Amino acid sequence: MFKLLDKPAFERRVEVRVPVLVEGENAFETQTFTAHFLAVDIAERAKEASDVEILKEVWIGWGRDVCDGAETPLAWTEDRRDRLLRLPYVRRALIDAYLAAMSGGAARQGN
């Protein structure tokens, strides 16, 4: 059965490659969290809007796996969302997760 919903939403695991310094060497650490998204068509919007503007429309929450340094879960707020959206590696991970979900598989790579 297919359900036609007014505001379809879904959640996806987002893998973020966080840049870190390990023993004086540049490296990455994969950290994950659950993002909640609205399922909306962004094709036309993507032509004129930035990734940040699009994510502010479609990213509507996160799970209890977004934590502070003491591993205490953080509640979703627009201020915290905006803080994460200022990090390019978080934006990239969110866009990749969203596009992969909306296309039914892996995010498409450019030509």
Give the pLDDT score at 106.
Answer: 58
Write out pLDDT tens, residues 27-46.
999 999 999 999 988 877 77
The whole-model pTM stands at 0.86
Burial class (CB in 10 A: 0-12, 13-18, 19+), 99: middle
| Sign of the alpha-carbon torsion through 23, 25, 31, 36 | positive
Reported confidence tier of residue 70, pLDDT bands at 50, 70, 90:
very high
Q: Is the pLDDT of residue 86 over 90?
A: yes
Within a 10 A sphere around the Cβ of 41, how many other Cβ atoms? 8
What mean pLDDT do residues 2-19 have?
Answer: 91
| CA 67 vs CA 31, 54, 78, 88: distances in Å | 11, 24, 15, 19
What pLDDT shows up at residue 78? 96
Q: Are the beta carbons of 20 and 28 closer than 8 angstroms?
A: yes
